[in-house]
Structure 1
Amino acid sequence: MLRSHKLQLDDVPPTVRGIVRCGAGTNNIPVKEMTERGIPVFNTPGANANAVKELVICGLLLASRGIIEGNNHVNTVINTEEAGDYERVSKRIEADKSMFGGKEIEGKTLGVIGLGAIGSRVVSAALALGMNVIGYDPVLSLDAALQLPGDRMRRVTDLDDIFAEADYITVHVPYIKGVTHHLINSEALSKCKSNVHLLNFARGEIIDGAAVRSGYDTGLLTGKYISDFSDPDLMGHPRHLVLPHLGASTDEAEENSAAMAAQTMMDFLETGTIRNSVNFPTTILAPQKNSSGARLCIVNRNEPGALGEITTFLGSRGLNISQQINTSRGDIAYTVIDFTNQPEDAEAIQAELAKNCSFIISLRFLGMVFADELGEPGTYFYVSWAK
């Protein structure tokens, strides 16, 4: 279990069954290499969603009103020769308020790119504040769709609709190289309103800082860019308001993420259940009454005929399958099998199965039925890459 630690390959010995990040992003984990090793990588989507949503709302207000600029000005006045003269400072501050005129967000249009756990909450909060909301998400899941407020918002299938109509644009998509890298670039910005405000509490690379800087320098853009990621092309620019990476940095979000991560890992270690994985297929197999309690979990390369070879071998060793589930995601397949009878020598069967089926990456027996004779659940664990 980890948060922001940059995981190195040498940090992961063959005994590791799974990795879970207490947060949504997994860019600090070598997911591709873990997939090749048959190690599921989990995250905790939604655990910090409320914390990020609240910061996004804060960002909307920071963009609309001269809050930070006004505070900086007040501090400057206080620290000048007027310091100590309360009456003079107060009059000066009141007289200068016209320097920081802003706009109200009510009635303005917010474009939300990414309608998952965070994006859907942002939609609801913006609607409650009287904003018009348009959303875009080409891979919206059913669960996420059910969280949206129906016809109170408008979903679009073309990003250009958001670029053309939005007064504010907030991004809530994962960073995927070649997919969401510089999703908002110079071409996209040329389609936006000149006074559009950009909010980025997802990942810095999703918005092209050089393109935004060029827009400011040429007068194409007059709005603000609010983010909790610094950008080398915008460092120090007065229209780029940068915060520390505070999105999930609340006591509540930290606790929610840790609890969700622990529960996710417990479910996987104790039952073989996979949910909230970024590299393995969702796999849930409820216990069955006529099962002996013996459960076998197998990770293998997704090759034709693999499942047939596995079940044939198990049958040849006298094991009767009561139920099973086989799922796949890309090059990885995952199988969970329950038996009506208990294997006499789980470790031997495991080793022989791995030897006979070269496509197997890892496998392990689960079940409290082994606690007395064969050790704790999941003791017997085979990984091909450790050989």
Structure 2
Amino acid sequence: MAPRVLISDKISTAAVQIFKDRGVEVDYLPDLGKDRDALAAVIGGYDGLAIRSTTKVTSKVLADAGNLKVIGRAGIGVDNVDLSLATAKGVIVMNTPYGNSITAAEHAIALMFSIAREIPAADHSTQEGLWEKNRFLGVEITGKTLGIIGCGNIGSVVADRAIGLKMKVVAFDPFLSPERAVALGVEKVELEDLLARADFISLHTPLTDRTRNILSAENIARTKPGVRIVNCARGGLLDEAALREALDSGHVAGAALDVFLVEPATENVLFGHPRVVCTPHLGAATTEAQENVALQIAEQMSDYLTRGAITNAVNFPSISAEEAPKLRPFITLAERLGSFAGQLTDSNISRVRLTYQGEAARMNMRALTSAAVAGLLRPVLAGVNVVSAPTIAKERGIVVEETSSDAESDYDALITLMVEADGTQRSVSGTVFADGKARIVDIKGIKVDAEFAPSMIYVANEDRPGFVGHFASMLGDAGINIATFALGRATQGGDAIALVQIDGTAPDEVIERVRALPMVRQAKPLAF
């Protein structure tokens, strides 16, 4: 059955054809996103939801989205999506961070010119027939210092354009590496230094708890007298009332805003100020950008729904279309290794370590780790999925580590999961054979060879004569058929393991009788 996608906002209709060409059924209802109740009433019939900024994906919408697998935002910001709840429900949330980068950057540069030369006010004055040539004394931008707060996709384009205009660029961005700063031709500085040095400041950071009011009253006071400020990123990054006061006092020479704390902005404390230029959130409003983001989100969502590829997800590692088929059996392996360890662990887990060897070390380890953690937590936390697992583990204080190893192995690819709980450690290793089936090959250092099966029994015991006979007879007497029987031991007479695939499930009383055998240390039913 073909996946179905709903487009609930106005995006380029070229996206509709992309979905159809990729084998995805699509309904284009661009006004539906304005009505949350109407959207909630139909969302249950769709695998994907393509949106822009009008649709609000709230808890009400997600509660009824039983089949939803992916939300695609044609644009950058996902503020209109309840990301935490979507993640908890295992819904991939994608955006298009590059589709409108050039357009948004160009708008920031345009606004910088507009306040440098007072173009909007001069235009209005001239068209009124006033010819106030001496009134509009602007400033050059050549040789001036531009301070960029947030040097990511858009900020880096602004930096490139500004350098081309012979400006000096300083950037504050905790995630900007020194090497990347050199490559961009910008000087990486701390925020306090940027505020003191910049003639122009341009904001290009997402709105988070750390960046909210990053240009607060205190930080605006720290800026260079005569500074000009541009915000084409997100409303809430600056204190609008404090900016108004700084404009009134003359400390700030001009400001240009494309975004506001409350939108649509029908009134604002900055409106009407002679040295303020405002536009109605036009950062991505060009024909090229609208087309680009629509086509990109349609391609990304189609690739995920038809091939399992994940691109530009904000809540899961990316998986290319080329690696998805090869990665899929190893994701299954990682999840089942986690489930195996989770079902055998009765105490609180404090640490998880994933070690990847051989071919597995060259795969998408973040995706594999997410799958393993999901499998580990699922036995005790219903509803955990590969998308939500890392967040849930962090919330519960579980340290998750992943390493790759060049150590030689008997297998082309090997994944080892180690779980630490109450000071004890348990490890299990697995691989994928040429037939694509996941297998357990090592448990706590004891070599075994067993496929995962829907119903299994795990037994840790002492290697003593008669155990296998007693165990098999006990299952036979209970009418339980043995499908496969894998054995392993550390040394003769030492620790041993039995991993048995059975038809159906073993009743609790049978497991209790197995545990009662004198040579048995642990017996657990397993389900995969």
Give the TM-score, by structure 2 length: 0.53
2:258 aligned residue: 228
Runs of 4+ off more than 6 Å = none
1:10 and 2:60 matched: yes
Q: Secondary structure at the match of 2:128?
A: helix
1:183 and 2:214 matched: yes
1:327 and 2:369 matched: yes
Report deviation, 1:259. 1.9
Q: Percent identity?
A: 32
Report deviation, 1:127. 0.5
Q: Secondary structure at the match of 1:211?
A: helix
Does the 8 A contact of 1:124 with 1:149 survive in 2? no
Distance 2:73 2:123 in 1: 37
Q: Secondary structure at the match of 1:181?
A: coil
1:172 and 2:204 matched: yes
Report deviation, 1:169. 0.3
- CA shift in 2, pair 1:308/1:338, >3 Å: closer
Determine which of 293, 299, 302 is the counterpart of 1:266.
Answer: 302
Distance 2:236 2:170 in 1: 23
- CA shift in 2, pair 1:193/1:309, >3 Å: closer
Distance 1:341 1:15 in 2: 31
Does the 8 A contact of 1:273 with 1:285 survive in 2? yes
Letter in 2 for 1:187: E
Report deviation, 1:76. 2.4
Unmatched tracts of structure 1, length 5 or more: 78-91, 299-304, 314-321, 344-351, 354-387
1:162 and 2:194 matched: yes
Alpha carbon RMSD of aligned pairs, Å? 3.4
1:21 aligned residue: 73
Range with greater deviation from structure 2 (238-247 or 6-15): 6-15
1:58-107 CA-partner distances (Å, limit 9, x unpaired):
01111100211111112223xxxxxxxxxxxxxx52xx211011011000
Report deviation, 1:38. 1.1
Q: Secondary structure at the match of 1:206?
A: coil
Determine which of 103, 107, 120 is the counterpart of 1:51.
Answer: 103
- CA shift in 2, pair 1:240/1:151, >3 Å: closer
Letter in 2 for 1:206: L
1:134-158 CA-partner distances (Å, limit 9, x unpaired):
111102379xx65x563732111x1
Letter in 2 for 1:7: V
Unmatched tracts of structure 2, length 5 or more: 1-49, 262-267, 343-358, 371-389, 395-430, 438-453, 456-528
Q: Secondary structure at the match of 1:204?
A: coil
1:102 and 2:138 matched: yes
- CA shift in 2, pair 1:97/1:17, >3 Å: same
Structure 2 matches for 1:1-387, cutoff 5 A?
1-4=50-53, 5-12=55-62, 13-77=65-129, 93=131, 96-140=132-176, 146=180, 150=183, 152-156=185-189, 158-176=190-208, 178-217=209-248, 219=249, 221-230=251-260, 232-284=268-320, 286-287=322-323, 308-310=337-339, 325=365, 326-328=368-370, 329-331=390-392, 340-341=434-435
Letter in 1 for 2:151: L
Distance 1:241 1:194 in 2: 19
Distance 2:293 2:72 in 1: 10
1:21-62 CA-partner distances (Å, limit 9, x unpaired):
011100011111101111111111111011011111101111
Give the TM-score, by structure 1 length: 0.71
Does the 8 A contact of 2:156 with 2:184 survive in 1? no
Does the 8 A contact of 1:112 with 1:136 survive in 2? yes
Distance 2:91 2:433 in 1: 24
- CA shift in 2, pair 1:327/1:44, >3 Å: farther
Report deviation, 1:163. 0.1
Distance 1:307 1:51 in 2: 45
Report deviation, 1:186. 1.0
Tell me: higher relative CO, structure 1 or 2? Use CA pairs within 8 A at least 6 residues apart: 1
Letter in 2 for 1:205: G
- CA shift in 2, pair 1:138/1:237, >3 Å: same
1:224-265 CA-partner distances (Å, limit 9, x unpaired):
110112463323222221101111111111111122212222
- CA shift in 2, pair 1:27/1:270, >3 Å: same
Does the 8 A contact of 1:52 with 1:118 survive in 2? yes
Distance 2:432 2:303 in 1: 16
- CA shift in 2, pair 1:129/1:342, >3 Å: closer
Distance 1:287 1:76 in 2: 62
